[in-house]
C-alpha cells in the first residue's frame, strides 16, 4: 500500500449500508483504480468517519468519497458534511436512487457536492468511471501533498508546544506544525477527537495520538531509547553534546561497553548552532544538526547505546562501581563515568519573565522558532557568538532583528567574521550599551523596556526575544560528590592538587589524578562543564576522546 517514496496511496472511500451494494461499488472501483489508489469500504456513516479520521491522523490523502444517500442514523449528505470537516480536499459523490434526485440536488449546496450518481450505474465504463476519472483529474490538479511525518498541533504562545517542537527538532525528528486555531489544525483536532483544551497534540506517522506528551513519551513514540539495555557498563557518559558524543564514539570504537545518557537531545549547545564555521575539516561550515546527526550515527555504528530524555540526578560511589541515578528513579552502574554535561543558558532575571518563557521569550531555541518570526521585529539579547549566529539566521525570516548588547561594542565578545556578516545585513541593528529592564505581555510577549547606560528607558513593541547571555554549568546534583569551582564547573587533574602538589582529601589511589579525572577516581569530566575548559566544539570533542584514553588507563589499574 505504499509508494516507492514511502508515502501511502491516496484513498477512494465508499460508504453504503447495503453490504451487497457496498461490495459492488468497491469491486468496480478496484477494477479500474486499484493499482493507483487504495479502495476503502465502509458500511455505515460512523465507520466511514472513523476510517477518514484514521487516515487523517496517519497523513493519508483521500481523493474521492462516494456516499449512499439513504443510510440509517446518518444520511449520505450528513456524512459528507462531516467528512468535509476532516478531508475538505476530497471530491464528494452522492449515490442516489431516482426517487431521491431532489435531495441530491439540494445537497449540492449543503456539502458542495461534486456529483450525484444514480443507482444502478451499470455499466460502470459508461456511468461510473467517466465521473470518477473527471473527479480524480480535478483532485490531482489541486495541491494535495501527503504529510507522512509527525504532526504537532498547538498554540502559538504555549510554552509546552514550543518545548515539544524543540525536542523533536533537536532530536532531528521531522514534524509539521499546525496552529490549533487554523483550519488544518482544527481538522486534526477533530480527527483525533480532541476539544483543543489540552495541547499540544502530537500525531505520530502511524496515526497514534499523544496529548501534552512529556519528553519521555515523545522519545518512546519516535523510537528513541530512554532506558538502558544493561545494568552494568564499562563507561557511562553523561551528556550528549560534542564532548559526550566524542567520548561515546571513542569509547565504543575501542571496545568499551558504553552508554551515553542525554537529558534532552544529543548535540548539546552545538546542536543549536545554525552554522559552526571553525570546526576542523569543514571549510564551508557545518550546521549543528548535521554534525550531531553524523556523530550520533557514528557512535551508534560503533555500538554505543544512546539514551534520550534521560536526566542524571545523582552519582553514587560504591567501591569500584559508579552508579548514576536518573530522574525517573532508575539507575545504571559502570566501572567509569565521563561527565560531559556542558553548560546551559543563563536565565535573565526580570519580574514576569518566567511566565513569558516559551511564549515569546526563548533561550537558545532560535532555530525552532524561526518560522514564527516571519515578518516580525525580533530582539536578541547578548553579544557573544551564539547571539551573533542567531541574529544572522533569524534575519532570513524576521522583518528586523535588533541585537541588544550590554557592552560598548561587539569586538570584545564576538568573532570578527560574525561581526562582518552582521554589518553586511541591512535588517540587523546592533544596539550597544543597552539592557532589557522589563518585559511586558499578558499571555505572550508584547513589549520590552530597554535601558541605556545613562539610565534612560524606552518601551518597544516586541513579540519575540531570544536570550543568549552566557551560560552556566548545572552541576548542583554533583554537590558533595565531585569537587566544583566557585562557578559550579568540575575541577579536574592538576587543578585538584593543593599548593604542595598533594591530591584532594579522601583521594585513595597511590597516584595523582589523571589530567581529566575529577576528585572521584574513575569519574572524568570533559568539555564545557570542566573548569578552565576552552568552550569550543573542537576542544570538547578532543577532551571527550582524551577522557576515554584516561578511562582505559584507569581500568588497567583496577
Ligand atoms: C548557539 C551556539 C553556537 C555556538 N557556535 C560555536 C562555534 O561556531 N564554534 C565553536 O567552537 N563553539 C561554538 N559554540 C560553543 C560549543 O557549542 C560548546 O563549546 C560545545 O557544545 C560544548 O560541548 P559539551 O559537550 O561540553 O557541552 P554541551 O554542548 O553543553 O552539551 C551538554 C549536554 O549535556 C546534557 N546534560 C546536561 N545535564 C545533564 C544531565 N544531568 N543528565 C543528562 N544530560 C545532561 C545537555 O542537555 C547537553 O545536551 C556555540 C554554542 C552555542 C550555544
Per residue in 499-538, pLDDT tens? 999 999 999 999 999 999 999 999 999 999 999 999 999 9
Residue 1 has pLDDT above 50, yes or no: no
What's the rounded mean pLDDT across residues 397-410? 95
Residue 365 has pLDDT above 80, yes or no: no
Interval 487-503: pLDDT, tens = 999 999 999 999 999 99
Cα→Cα distances 276→242, 283, 302, Å: 12, 10, 25
Asked whether 475 and 488 are in contact (CB, 8 A), the reply is yes
Q: Which atom of ligand 1 is nearest to the CA of 313?
A: 41
Q: How many CA atoms lie within 13 A of 64 on its CB side?
A: 29
Answer whether 535 contacts ligand 1 (Cβ < 6 A). Answer: yes
- Confidence bin at 190 (pLDDT 50/70/90): very high
Interval 49-90: pLDDT, tens = 999 999 999 989 999 999 999 999 999 999 999 998 899 889
Answer whether 263 contacts ligand 1 (Cβ < 6 A). Answer: yes
pLDDT at 178: 94
Residue 497 neighbours by CB under 8 Å, 6+ apart: 503, 504, 512, 513
Rounded-to-integer distance, Cα 118 and Cα 104, Å: 10
Rounded-to-integer distance, Cα 386 and Cα 119, Å: 67
- Confidence bin at 148 (pLDDT 50/70/90): low
* Residue minimizing CA distance to atom 26 of ligand 1: 527
What's the rounded mean pLDDT across residues 299-316? 96
pLDDT at 273: 84
- Confidence bin at 8 (pLDDT 50/70/90): low
pLDDT at 258: 98
Mutate to test the pocket of ligand 1, among 163, 273, 315, 389 (most ligand atoms within 8 A of CB): 273
Interval 283-296: pLDDT, tens = 989 999 889 999 99
Among 138-142, 276-280, 325-329, the least confident range: 138-142
What's the rounded mean pLDDT across residues 18-42? 94
Angle between helices 19-33 and 129-141 (to 10 degrees): 60
pLDDT at 222: 84
Question: For 94-120, b where at least 16 C-beta lie within 10 A, e where not — what string?
Answer: bbbeeebeebbeebeeebebbbbbebe
> What dihedral angle (degrees, nearest 10) is formed by the CA atoms of 541, 305, 240, 157?
150
**Does residue 191 or residue 113 have the better pLDDT?**
191
Among 117-121, 199-203, 444-448, the least confident range: 117-121
**Three-state secondary-structure class, residue 446:** coil
**CA of residue 486 to ligand 1 center, whole Å:** 20
Q: Which atom of ligand 1 is nearest to the CA of 530?
A: 26
Answer whether 340 contacts ligand 1 (Cβ < 6 A). Answer: yes
Report the 10 Å Cβ neighbour count for 274. 18
Answer whether 308 contacts ligand 1 (Cβ < 6 A). Answer: no
**CA of residue 543 to ligand 1 center, whole Å:** 13
pLDDT at 118: 86
What's the rounded mean pLDDT across residues 250-255? 97
The neighbouring-strand residues paired with 213 are: none
* Percentage of residues in the chain having pLDDT higher than 90: 77
Answer whether 312 contacts ligand 1 (Cβ < 6 A). Answer: yes
What's the rounded mean pLDDT across residues 239-259? 98
DSSP string computed for 286-327: B-HHHHHHHHHHHHHHTT-EEE-S--EEEEEEETTEEEEEET
Residue 277 has pLDDT above 80, yes or no: yes
Residue 45 has pLDDT above 70, yes or no: yes
pLDDT at 5: 47
Amino acid at each position: 500500500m505504499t509508494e516507492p517514496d514511502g508515502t501511502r496511496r491516496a484513498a477512494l472511500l465508499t460508504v453504503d449500508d447495503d453490504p451487497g451494494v457496498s461490495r459492488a461499488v468497491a469491486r468496480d472501483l478496484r477494477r479500474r483504480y486499484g493499482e493507483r489508489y487504495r479502495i476503502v469500504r465502509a458500511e455505515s456513516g460512523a465507520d466511514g468517519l472513523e476510517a477518514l479520521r484514521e487516515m487523517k491522523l496517519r497523513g493519508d490523502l483521500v481523493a474521492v468519497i462516494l456516499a449512499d444517500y439513504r443510510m440509517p442514523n446518518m444520511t449520505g449528505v450528513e456524512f459528507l458534511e462531516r467528512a468535509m470537516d476532516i478531508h475538505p480536499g476530497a471530491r464528494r459523490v452522492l449515490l442516489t436512487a431516482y426517487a431521491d434526485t431532489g435531495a441530491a440536488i439540494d445537497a449540492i449546496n449543503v456539502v458542495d457536492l461534486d456529483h450525484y450518481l444514480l443507482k444502478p450505474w451499470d455499466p460502470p465504463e459508461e456511468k461510473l468511471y467517466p465521473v470518477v476519472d473527471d473527479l480524480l483529474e480535478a483532485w490531482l490538479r489541486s495541491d494535495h501533498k501527503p504529510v507522512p511525518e509527525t504532526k504537532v498541533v498547538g498554540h502559538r504562545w504555549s510554552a509546552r508546544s514550543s518545548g515539544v517542537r524543540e525536542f523533536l527538532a533537536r532530536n532531528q525528528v521531522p514534524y509539521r506544525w499546525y496552529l490549533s486555531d487554523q483550519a488544518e489544525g482544527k481538522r486534526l483536532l477533530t480527527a483525533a477527537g480532541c476539544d483543543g483544551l489540552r495541547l499540544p497534540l502530537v500525531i505520530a506517522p502511524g496515526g497514534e495520538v499523544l496529548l501534552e506528551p512529556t519528553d519521555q513519551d515523545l522519545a518512546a513514540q519516535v523510537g528513541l531509547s530512554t532506558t538502558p539495555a544493561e545494568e552494568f557498563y564499562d563507561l557511562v557518559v553523561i551528556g550528549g553534546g560534542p564532548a559526550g558524543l566524542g567520548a561515546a564514539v571513542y569509547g565504543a570504537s575501542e571496545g568499551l561497553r558504553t552508554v551515553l545518557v542525554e537529558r534532552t537531545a544529543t548535540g548539546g549547545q552545538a546542536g543549536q548552532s545554525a552554522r559552526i564555521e571553525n570546526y576542523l575539516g569543514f571549510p564551508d561550515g557545518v550546521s549543528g544538526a548535521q554534525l550531531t546527526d553524523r556523530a550520533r550515527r557514528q557512535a551508534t555504528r560503533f555500538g554505543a547505546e544512546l539514551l534520550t530524555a534521560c536526566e542524571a540526578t545523582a552519582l553514587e560511589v560504591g567501591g569500584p562501581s559508579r552508579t548514576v541515578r536518573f530522574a525517573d528513579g532508575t539507575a545504571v552502574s559502570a566501572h567509569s563515568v565521563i561527565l560531559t554535561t556542558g553548560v546551559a543558558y543563563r536565565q535573565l532575571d526580570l519580574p514576569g519573565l518566567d511566565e513569558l518563557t516559551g511564549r515569546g521569550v526563548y533561550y537558545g531555541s532560535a532555530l525552532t522558532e524561526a518560522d514564527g518570526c516571519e515578518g516580525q521585529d525580533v530582539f536578541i539579547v547578548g553579544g557573544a557568538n551564539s547571539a551573533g549566529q542567531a541574529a544572522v539566521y533569524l534575519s532570513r525570516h524576521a522583518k528586523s532583528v535588533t541585537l541588544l548588547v550590554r557592552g560598548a561594542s561587539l569586538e570584545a565578545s564576538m568573532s570578527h567574521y560574525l561581526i562582518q556578516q552582521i554589518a553586511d545585513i541591512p535588517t540587523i541593528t546592533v544596539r550597544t550599551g543597552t539592557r532589557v529592564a522589563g518585559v511586558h505581555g499578558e499571555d505572550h510577549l508584547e513589549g520590552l523596556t530597554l535601558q541605556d547606560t545613562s539610565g534612560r528607558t524606552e518601551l518597544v513593541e516586541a513579540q519575540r526575544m531570544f536570550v543568549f547571555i552566557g551560560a552556566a554549568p548545572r552541576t548542583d546534583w554533583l554537590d558533595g560528590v565531585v569537587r566544583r569551582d566557585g562557578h559550579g564547573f568540575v575541577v579536574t587533574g592538576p587543578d585538584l592538587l593543593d599548593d604542595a602538589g598533594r591530591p584532594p582529601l579522601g583521594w585513595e589511589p597511590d597516584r595523582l589524578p589523571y589530567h581529566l579525572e575529577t576528585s572521584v577516581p574513575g569519574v572524568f569530566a570533559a568539555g564545557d562543564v570542566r573548569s578552565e575548559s576552552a568552550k569550543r566544539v573542537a576542544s570538547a570533542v578532543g577532551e571527550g576522546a582524551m577522557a576515554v584514553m584516561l578511562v582505559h588507563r584507569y581500568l588497567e589499574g583496577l
